[in-house]
Structure 1
Amino acid sequence: MTTTVKRILQIGILLLGLYSLAGFVLAPWIIKSQIIQQCEKRLQTTPKVGAVSLNPFTFELLIKDFLLPSKDQEKPRLAFNHFSVNLTWYALFNQEIRLKSVMLDGAAARFVVFKSGDTNWELTPTGEPEKDTSQDSDWILTLEQIQIRESGVDFFDYTHATPLELPLGPMNLAAANISTSLGSRTSLKSLNISFGEQGSLNLSGDMQLKPVTVNLIVEARQVPLDFLTAYLSDHTYLTLKKGQADTVSRIQYQNGRVRVTGEAQIHDLALVPENQDKPVVEWAQLDLQGIDVTTGPVDLKAAELVLKGLKTDVELRKDGTLNFRSFVKKSPQAPAEAEITKPADATKKAPLKYYIEKLTLSDGLVNYADLQIRPNFKALVHDLEGSVGPISPKADEKIQIALSGQVEAYGKFKGKGFVIPGTKRPTLDLDMNFHNIEMTTFTPYSGHFAGYEIKKGKLFLDLNYKLVNSRIKGSNKVLLDQFTLGDKVESKNATGWPLKLGLALMKDRKGQIKFQLPVEGDVNSPSFSLGNLIWTAVKNMIINIVAAPFDFLASLVGGGDDMQDIRFAPGQSELKAGEKEKLIKLAQALAERPQLNLEIRGEYQAADRQALQVKALEEKLEPLIAKNKDRSKAVRTVAKENLQPEAFEVIEDQFAKDPAGRTAAWEKKTAEALSVSDDELKVLALARGKAVMTELAAGKVETERLYLLSGSAGEAGKAPQVTLLLKEN
């Protein structure tokens, strides 16, 4: 071996030794020093670096037992057991940084967003000008393999009313061929993230960094959703007490747009108001089928939402608002000046587009309470099922509605129809049926508005409501079966009209009350309330019936007018043929209304007194006429016996040349002179009442329901009659 060769070998060995010394000893020391220096400079903290090693021949860098403390020293911002990078050095000649493998093991990161919006990872400015990275670099970065094993991230966000605390992990990632090379596709073999005790999220697929495209399959199982409370707290007073999500979906990103398709389930969800224990909304499962969501702008579509086991409490508060309104926080009003100085389109956002073909309900339950009245009204609707849809923001979209369920223990209801929301003039056509509803449930309302408890009864109600051109028209077919009022209730809101009489008039022999109730109103009126509209219509109907009860009874049997008054000839107690017909119709009506009693009051008038006087005169004339066959002489005899002499002489002188006129005058004056007492008139009136009672009894009206009042003077100016009065029994 020549001296030159030896020298070359010696130099080579020396350079190799120096290279090895620099690579194995000096470079790790420099790398470790730079890590510590940069962390102190940019993050204001001193990291702990256990060991740094570099193999200058395989270009493998290894960092062990790294810990980056937080400023508050509570938990480290970043810690890991093992981080290694393997560089393929010959690729540098092609202006490519190619990392054969990158592996991170046992990492734990902590990311905090403070109330100010700053994070625990804010970098301190160096004072040096930032490099311009706007121009594309000719260098390419490629990661052939990357692995993250048994790592986790704790995420905290204190910008919300309720702070967000979201621990993620353990996390495992395996990916290949991550490159900034144009058109190069990355294979995401698997990204597995654990949520809570049982939740997991798995992602797989491929992506491209230049241009950015993503095509991933997402599988989530039992992912806990309680972290969403933080976002709810910004706008509501609700807490997501529990809830889990499952999904199998695809995420795609291309040309600045994200698209998500697939299926999802949200199950065992419960929303609880602040400072309460009982959920206000909960459900067993919500299936989201045929999801298709895109961004730019946001467009959400779903073939069907299936909601199973919904349970919710709906309360009408004392102030007339629903309980859900109190769960929403009021948005702060922006200063007027700020509104003026905003650019015209600064607040413009693309409208949210959504289209849900159908929402299907099954096994739902709604607890309704009206706290406006005392005692509070409560009703339970359960086994709620049906469908609503489609649901979209389109004003002209026709939404079909089909719902059914049970009310309390045995009642049932159905609803079917459609609604078109409309921008200014919505349209509605809805049929609803309530059958076998226990009326005792509504005792709070009857006590509040009518002043009576409800003793018993069932409700059968068929409704149709149409809303066209801001006017709502309702057709209500009502059946109350065995409806009976109970005890009187003190209520300042109770009406003073005779409700019991009205119900007795309406209740038939089967114990049923049937009626149809049309309602109509302007929904744009400030005072419009559908409940008040219906209640007012019911009240007016009963008032009208009670105001003219015999007209109502006549309408049942086709009777004529004036059924309340049975008229008689003056001085007579025998029924006329026409009045008998009225009583026959009345008997039929009373047979249909067994809850009614009838008071019969015979009355007399001045005409009756005159008729009885004429009758008394005839009784005096009868034997005289029979004796001498001369009425004129008989009248003169009776007149002379009963008139004052002066009165007798006046008539005789006035009609000296008119025997017929003289006789008529004597009859008139004599009849007026004859005495008819009030007792005789009362007897006549009572006889009339008995005649009416006898006729009604003959018409099969139970005499226990007929009450004969004593005879009395009638109202001046009326004909002699019997007045009938209806009473509830």
Structure 2
Amino acid sequence: MLIGGVSVDKGNINFSDFFVKPNYSANLTGMKGSVSKVSSGDPTPADLVLNGRLDDDAPVSISGKINPLGEQLYLDIAAKASGVELTRLTPYAAKYAGYPITKGKLTVDVAYKIDHGKLDASNHLYLDQLTFGDKVDSPDATKLPVLLAVSLLKDRHGVIDVNLPVSGSLSDPEFSIGGVIVRVIVNLLAKAITSPFALIGSAFGGGSGEELGYVEFAPGTSTLTPAAKEKIATVAKALNDRPSLKLEISGRIDPATDEAGARRAWLDARVAEQKRRDLRKSAQEGDEASDSEAGEQGADVKVSKQEYPKYLEEVYKRASVKKPRNFIGMAKSLPPEEMERLLMANAEVSETDLRHLADQRALVVKQSLERDGKVPEDRLFLTAPHLNAEGIKDKGAPNRVDFSVRQ
């Protein structure tokens, strides 16, 4: 079979889908273009060029190569439709999402290649101002929280910009291009909901993304590390780019490690306080160097490794703990490790203290998101703390703050 070529001028292609109710119809109008020679005896594909509009509105262009007369279909085409009114797709949205579309435009840029029965395709979707109406009853609608998924995908400008690859074998009796595309879209929505921080990470350079779902702390502390601040900054960018999202913040402690960490933090704080006392005393006695150091460091006094044994011993001498004594009843001098052990063993760390630690971790993260990330306070919610390491499915430390998103 041989076709010498086909030209189209002012053509019209009408498509109707009677499977959905109400029916969906699309009308390609003003089509103009051509298909070059194609033959069942010649494997050379024909050149295809078509241009027109969807319902006399959105421009449509199709170009590429095709050979429908060969032993196997060959297709390598690209197509684009710009500014398609999304309200036209309400029959599909109501059936599969459970919501009608009340506003929005779609630009779709696709590339499909079929060779030796194998399909490889890319679908670039750009949805601007997608807006749903009130929920409708549909037995075929997904059970996923569609509105939350859309909020996760939509940026501050109301745009959803995604690429959906599709592949498969046309010889598979279960294969359906439409069915595959529906599954890809559903999978995208599911991933957005179940792994929102993976989505955030890919959009804002947060590595694997999953790690953005929590902020780690050193055991026993509620001090933000540089890595924690970097995570918080990325989460803040994502929230500011998705203004319809809210963030829930939950502090967590691990009794197995946070109690020991809290004892360590308790001792470090007292060593620092001892240095602070000495600096104040020296300043009062007129030591200008000490006065300058105290003024510069204030509450954030740092104790060097060389200074630590000195101030640790002073803390030990002041502490009301049972101390080893010599034969005349005076407290023995002990190596730093022994003084640390005795002091930390007598540090009081209660369940209430640990709960307060979990709450404090959540609070410092919330304050950082507000102060440094400029996230409005009314979008941030502190939730009840987790007082154990149960339920953690990632590889992060249990001394942490956990995030979750909601609409």
Shorter-chain TM band: 0.7 to 0.9
Which structure carries more relative contact order (alpha carbon 8 Å, separation 6+)? Answer: 2
Say yes or no: does 1:700 pair with 2:370. Answer: no
Say yes or no: does 1:357 pair with 2:30. Answer: no
- For residue 584 of structure 1, what is the aligned residue in structure 2? 233
- For residue 563 of structure 1, what is the aligned residue in structure 2? 212
**Alignment counterpart, residue 123 of structure 2, candidates 476, 484, 506:** 476
Does the aligned pair in 2 maintain the 1:396–1:421 contact within 8 Å? no
Does the aligned pair in 2 maintain the 1:569–1:720 contact within 8 Å? yes
Does the aligned pair in 2 maintain the 1:638–1:670 contact within 8 Å? yes
- Classify the secondary structure of the residue corresponding to 1:502: helix
- For residue 134 of structure 1, what is the aligned residue in structure 2? none
Return the alpha-carbon distance in structure 2 between the equivalents of residues 452 and 504 of structure 1. 14
Say yes or no: does 1:715 pair with 2:389. Answer: yes
Cα offset, 1:685, TM superposition: 2.3
Does the aligned pair in 2 maintain the 1:684–1:711 contact within 8 Å? no
Return the alpha-carbon distance in structure 1 between the equivalents of residues 131 and 376 of structure 2. 21
One-letter amino acid of the counterpart of residue 71, structure 2: K
**Alignment counterpart, residue 522 of structure 1, candidates 161, 169, 187:** 169
- For residue 596 of structure 1, what is the aligned residue in structure 2? 245
One-letter amino acid of the counterpart of residue 358, structure 1: V
| Structure 1 residues 588 and 441, CA gap change in structure 2 (3 angstroms) | same
- For residue 385 of structure 1, what is the aligned residue in structure 2? 32
One-letter amino acid of the counterpart of residue 360, structure 1: V
Say yes or no: does 1:608 pair with 2:258. Answer: yes
Q: Which structure dedicates a bigger proportion of its chain to strand? A: 1
Say yes or no: does 1:425 pair with 2:99. Answer: no
Does the aligned pair in 2 maintain the 1:612–1:676 contact within 8 Å? no
Specify every segment of 5 or more residues in structure 1 that has no aligned partner in the other structure, as ranges: 1-352, 641-647, 649-656
Does the aligned pair in 2 maintain the 1:600–1:708 contact within 8 Å? yes
- Classify the secondary structure of the residue corresponding to 1:452: coil
One-letter amino acid of the counterpart of residue 706, structure 1: L
Return the alpha-carbon distance in structure 2 between the equivalents of residues 525 and 356 of structure 1. 33
- For residue 497 of structure 1, what is the aligned residue in structure 2? 144
Say yes or no: does 1:726 pair with 2:399. Answer: no
| Structure 1 residues 603 and 436, CA gap change in structure 2 (3 angstroms) | same
Larger radius of gyration: 1
Does the aligned pair in 2 maintain the 1:564–1:724 contact within 8 Å? yes
| Structure 1 residues 406 and 580, CA gap change in structure 2 (3 angstroms) | same
Return the alpha-carbon distance in structure 2 between the equivalents of residues 711 and 372 of structure 1. 50
One-letter amino acid of the counterpart of residue 369, structure 2: L
- For residue 178 of structure 1, what is the aligned residue in structure 2? none
Cα offset, 1:409, TM superposition: 5.6
One-letter amino acid of the counterpart of residue 590, structure 1: L
Cα offset, 1:630, TM superposition: 6.1
Q: Deviations over 1:109-148 (max 9, x none)?
A: xxxxxxxxxxxxxxxxxxxxxxxxxxxxxxxxxxxxxxxx
Does the aligned pair in 1 maintain the 2:219–2:399 contact within 8 Å? yes
Cα offset, 1:432, TM superposition: 0.9
The percent of aligned pairs where both chains have the same amino acid is 30
Say yes or no: does 1:454 pair with 2:101. Answer: yes
Return the alpha-carbon distance in structure 2 between the equivalents of residues 429 and 663 of structure 1. 77
Cα offset, 1:390, TM superposition: 3.4
Return the alpha-carbon distance in structure 2 between the equivalents of residues 617 and 429 of structure 1. 70
Return the alpha-carbon distance in structure 2 between the equivalents of residues 675 and 695 of structure 1. 26
Does the aligned pair in 2 maintain the 1:365–1:382 contact within 8 Å? yes
| Structure 1 residues 658 and 491, CA gap change in structure 2 (3 angstroms) | farther
Say yes or no: does 1:536 pair with 2:189. Answer: no
Q: Deviations over 1:43-80 (max 9, x none)?
A: xxxxxxxxxxxxxxxxxxxxxxxxxxxxxxxxxxxxxx
Say yes or no: does 1:441 pair with 2:84. Answer: no
| Structure 1 residues 659 and 492, CA gap change in structure 2 (3 angstroms) | same
Cα offset, 1:602, TM superposition: 1.9
Cα offset, 1:663, TM superposition: 5.5
Return the alpha-carbon distance in structure 1 between the equivalents of residues 68 and 212 of structure 2. 51
One-letter amino acid of the counterpart of residue 504, structure 1: S
Return the alpha-carbon distance in structure 2 between the equivalents of residues 620 and 415 of structure 1. 74
Return the alpha-carbon distance in structure 1 between the equivalents of residues 354 and 204 of structure 2. 34
Cα offset, 1:617, TM superposition: 7.4
Say yes or no: does 1:406 pair with 2:406. Answer: no
Q: Which structure dedicates a bigger proportion of its chain to helix? A: 2
Give the TM-score normalised by the residue count of structure 2.
0.75
Does the aligned pair in 2 maintain the 1:617–1:670 contact within 8 Å? no
One-letter amino acid of the counterpart of residue 405, structure 1: G
Return the alpha-carbon distance in structure 1 between the equivalents of residues 340 and 2 of structure 2. 100
Cα offset, 1:471, TM superposition: 0.6
Does the aligned pair in 2 maintain the 1:440–1:457 contact within 8 Å? yes
Does the aligned pair in 2 maintain the 1:476–1:517 contact within 8 Å? yes
Does the aligned pair in 1 maintain the 2:218–2:261 contact within 8 Å? no
Return the alpha-carbon distance in structure 2 between the equivalents of residues 533 and 682 of structure 1. 49
Return the alpha-carbon distance in structure 1 between the equivalents of residues 373 and 343 of structure 2. 42
Q: Deviations over 1:237-285 (max 9, x none)?
A: xxxxxxxxxxxxxxxxxxxxxxxxxxxxxxxxxxxxxxxxxxxxxxxxx
Return the alpha-carbon distance in structure 1 between the equivalents of residues 379 and 180 of structure 2. 36
Return the alpha-carbon distance in structure 1 between the equivalents of residues 157 and 114 of structure 2. 35
Cα offset, 1:667, TM superposition: 3.7
Cα offset, 1:613, TM superposition: 4.9
- For residue 321 of structure 2, what is the aligned residue in structure 1? 638
Return the alpha-carbon distance in structure 2 between the equivalents of residues 615 and 463 of structure 1. 58
Matches within 5 A, 1:221-236: none
Specify every segment of 5 or more residues in structure 2 that has no aligned partner in the other structure, as ranges: 279-312, 325-331
- Single out whichever of 396-405 and 468-477 deviates more from structure 2: 396-405
Q: Deviations over 1:477-524 (max 9, x none)?
A: 210111123322332322233333332222122111112222111111
- Classify the secondary structure of the residue corresponding to 1:691: helix
Cα offset, 1:609, TM superposition: 3.6
For the aligned residue pairs, the C-alpha RMSD in angstroms reads 3.5
Return the alpha-carbon distance in structure 2 between the equivalents of residues 664 and 682 of structure 1. 25
Cα offset, 1:541, TM superposition: 2.9
- Classify the secondary structure of the residue corresponding to 1:488: coil
Cα offset, 1:586, TM superposition: 2.3
- For residue 372 of structure 1, what is the aligned residue in structure 2? 19
One-letter amino acid of the counterpart of residue 707, structure 1: F
Does the aligned pair in 2 maintain the 1:358–1:391 contact within 8 Å? no
Q: Deviations over 1:279-298 (max 9, x none)?
A: xxxxxxxxxxxxxxxxxxxx
